[in-house]
A and B are shown apart, each in its own frame.
Chain A
């Protein structure tokens, strides 16, 4: 049973989401502040965090950054519809996906499932992996163990970043559009938010490129999308 940590300050929203997600078969722990959430993560494991960005005290962005510093736990943000800036800032802080409040429980649930499928432990998803060790320049991608290392040193990637890298490196030299990547990695229907891709590419570049402003592995093809290599 997936463990969901819900951090949401409004009690009725918290109760409503907890009720609905529990009915969907999740084990939900709901807390009201970011501090409580971080504390909870110290003591008990969670599979995914559902995080409201507008929190009293420590705000959602800071909570997001702290969780990212400690590991690759998937994070889904709850944002307000009128805050485009929040979406961008939240994605830059390391969130994997976001939903806009008010959100129906089944929409949130679908996102949780999708993000859980991206984590290494969930092997049900039929991906484009060709198991085995693949060497791309200084980058070694072990598609079976789902481990990435650069010059022999392991690179810590969040689940979404890893999936994006696997997706792109599966077909080196081939351009994939943002919408294709959204469908393949985030499992959004068509017309997802392409900023998800852009933000994730930025984070991925920061981790694997020598010079993130002059990327070698993940290249932007203006007017089309992204491409792995050619090296």
Chain B
């Protein structure tokens, strides 16, 4: 099969191909059987009619036989023709130029070939069509008995003309029967093909649907195994594969959940000692100035690192809340410009940031999460970019967009896909005091937690045309509570 044929056959589909195959098989079988019996029956019918006609003619001739004298006159010929004609056929009698017939004007039916045969002294017959009628012509010569007991052909030709219409009708009926049989068998073949296609295609379709569901993540998908044929084998194999897949994915998920739970548990366990340490960092800070030399420095160091550790643990707990899907929005109607300004003011960044914040943009969102996101992005811009850092707010009918851009070197294309990864550090030399390494990951999750019409908010990193990194935050104007914790990075 050439590729083109193959493609053509594939394009037809299994159902059409099965239909064609069955129809072809049905029609071929019927054609062979029906045409075989048709021709056989036709031959038998005609042969019988012919034999009967010959017998009848010979019988009649034996009654007029022998001829008394030669040459016969017209009267004798007329009489002979009358005698030989009966219900089933007419007769024509000739002798040289003399001829007689039982009905008018039948001589033209005699063909030269027939006459030649008869002139040779043999009994001959021929089927001819005249004026839409099927005729059987039988011819012979009367014999003349000589006085010595032998007989010779007398030269008197006798022809019997019989209609084959009734036989032809039988044959036509047979042909009709063959056509009807063919048609019925074609219909039967098509029905059988449809039935077979259904039987084959239903499991195939079920298999297709199940495979699609499996692909969409429904690993509990199984097929009902029917019978013991090849399709049942395929179904069994599919079920085995799906089962194995489900087990392995389940195992992986369980391991991942264990790992996440471990992080969450560790973070919670760390919190109690940290709570005690954090409670007294203020005491350390106050006393540090009064402590001599190294002791003061050590106190400041412990205080600072306790705060950093607290931040890290808090971030880890926050992340594990996203992972476990327990993060919830505390929605409020917020003037976005005022909220962003408050974030900048609280962190004493207001003077260092160029803002373009149109007032009067009210959005229903979680103001604390917005604060976390904006503080992260602006803090990030100060750390890794160059001033001026700008914050732009744009409002659409259903969404708000906040762009935080700096004028630094921008983000390396290799870094770009990973900026929201947990603990991802573009510069391995970066010190840990610059943040927990979870800030952007948490900002990303916080953006996604806000949903509108099934669509999550987004945080995207990129570069501005004139260098510098730009982070674009997109949040719905009216966010809704979401049970989904968003994707996991």
* Cα of A231 to Cα of B95 in the assembled complex, Å: 140
Interface residues on B, range: 35 or more
Residues in A with CB closer than 8 Å to B278 are 16, 102-104
> Which residues of B approach A to under 8 Å, CB–CB?
264, 268, 271-283, 286, 307, 310, 313-314, 317-318, 320-321, 326, 328, 330, 332-334, 338-339, 342-343, 345-346, 362, 364, 367-368, 371
Complex contact A102–B275 (CB within 8 A): yes
Stretch of A76-84, A112-120, A146-154, A202-210 at the chain-chain interface: A76-84
* Cα of A178 to Cα of B362 in the assembled complex, Å: 14
Interface string of A73-92 (1 = CB under 8 A from B): 00000001110100000000
Shortest C-beta distance, A87 to chain B (Å), equals: 9
Q: How many A-B residue pairs have CB under 8 A?
A: 99
Residues in A with CB closer than 8 Å to B367 are 179, 191, 194
Of the A-B pairs whose beta carbons lie under 8 Å apart in the complex, a sample of 9, sorted by A's number, is: A16-B278, A19-B280, A81-B271, A82-B264, A82-B268, A84-B328, A191-B368, A193-B330, A223-B333
* Cα of A94 to Cα of B333 in the assembled complex, Å: 25
Please tell me the number of chain A residues within 8 Å of chain B, measured between CB atoms.
31
Complex contact A82–B321 (CB within 8 A): yes
Q: A23-B283, A191-B367, A194-B332 are in contact. Are A102 and B277 (CB under 8 A)?
A: yes
Shortest C-beta distance, B481 to chain A (Å), equals: 12
A189 close to B (CB within 8 Å): yes
Q: Nearest A residue to B342 by beta-carbon distance? A: A190
A17 close to B (CB within 8 Å): yes
* Cα of A179 to Cα of B370 in the assembled complex, Å: 14
List of 5 A-B pairs having minimum Cβ-Cβ separation, nearest first: A16-B279, A190-B342, A12-B276, A102-B278, A102-B275
Complex contact A81–B346 (CB within 8 A): no
Residues in B with CB closer than 8 Å to A191 are 339, 342-343, 346, 367-368, 371
A130 close to B (CB within 8 Å): no
* Cα of A102 to Cα of B268 in the assembled complex, Å: 11
Q: A20-B279, A20-B282, A191-B371 are in contact. Are A223 and B268 (CB under 8 A)?
A: no
Shortest C-beta distance, B327 to chain A (Å), equals: 8
Residues in B with CB closer than 8 Å to A194 are 330, 332, 367
Residues in A with CB closer than 8 Å to B345 are 190
Pick the residue among B276, B281, B317, B343 that contacts A82 (CB under 8 A).
B317
Pick the residue among B283, B310, B339 that contacts A20 (CB under 8 A).
B283
Residues in A with CB closer than 8 Å to B281 are 104-105
